[in-house]
Amino acid sequence: RWEQALEWLAARPDIHEVILSGGDPLTLTNRRLEQLLDALAAIPHLRRLRIHSRTPVVIPERLDAGLKALLTRDRWQTVLVLHANHPREISPALVARCRDWRSAGMTLLNQSVLLAGVNDRVDTLADLSDVLFDAGVLPYYLHQLDAVQGAAHFAVPDVIARELHADLRARLPGFLVPRLTREEPGEPAKTVLAG
Ligand SMILES: *Cc1c(COP(=O)(O)O)cnc(C)c1O
């Protein structure tokens, strides 16, 4: 069903960015991605390509040379948004690839989900920001959970989440503090709980 989306994008010169996101676009092969990027690159008003993926966090090798060549091939700026939740997820293999991609000119961001018992301590969140920055990645969002079935035990109350965020702001430079947000169905953007 790409055809219809591509036609729509081509007819909308006010659209400057395309996001490949959820599912996980990096579960596609480089060949499939190349077919899509070939079609997108033919649309002159697109300036940014953004990819949201958790795959590199669990399989750093997915950031392979072929993919790097593909994502730096065209005129646009490429932004890769990783989904890491804990500093121990940032392995040496991931750090090496992120640094390499950063020096190839890509912008690297991270979004996390605030998870009770996993990363709901200011030390853990501050470590995560430090470790990400060392790898050339900026923290972007810290999400409150989507209300999905079976995940309630990971929920952190908003009042606690805001406190954690304030502690983080007191501890870190502003550019290492992710925005605390929640995704609300029907809203045009994420709801910011603390910026
Ligand atoms: C929020 C979100 C986006 C959109 O990002 P913005 O920077 O808010 O435009 C895309 N993909 C995922 C998975 C997101 O959570």
Atom of ligand 1 nearest to the CA of 22: 13
CB 56 within 8 A of CB 97: yes
Report yes or no on whether pTM surpasses 0.85.
yes
Atom of ligand 1 nearest to the CA of 21: 11
The residue nearest atom 10 of ligand 1, judged by CA position, is 21
Task: Tell how far the Cα of 72 is from the centroid of ligand 1, in angstroms.
Answer: 21
Residue 36, burial from CB neighbour count under 10 angstroms (0-12, 13-18, 19+): middle
Helices (H) and strands (E) in the chain, counts: 7, 7
Tell me the C-alpha distance between 86 and 129, whole Å. 9
pLDDT (tens, 9 = 90+) of the chain, 195 residues, equals: 789 999 999 999 999 999 999 889 999 999 999 999 999 999 999 999 999 999 999 999 999 999 999 999 989 999 999 999 999 999 999 999 999 999 999 999 999 999 999 999 999 999 999 999 999 999 999 999 998 899 999 999 999 999 999 999 999 999 999 999 999 999 999 999 998
The residue nearest atom 11 of ligand 1, judged by CA position, is 21
Task: Tell how far the Cα of 117 is from the centroid of ligand 1, in angstroms.
Answer: 24
Residues with C-beta less than 6 Å from any ligand 1 atom: 19, 21-22, 52, 189-190
Both tokens assigned to 106:
């890509």
CA atoms within a 13 Å half-sphere pointing along the CA-CB vector of 61: 0
Rounded to the nearest 5°, which phi and psi values hold at 2? -65, -35
Q: Distance of alpha carbon 157 from its chain centroid, rounded?
A: 23
The residue with tokens 């989306």 is 5
Task: Tell how far the Cα of 87 is from the centroid of ligand 1, in angstroms.
Answer: 21
CA-wise closest residue to 81 among 186, 193, 183, 178? 178
Atom of ligand 1 nearest to the CA of 111: 15
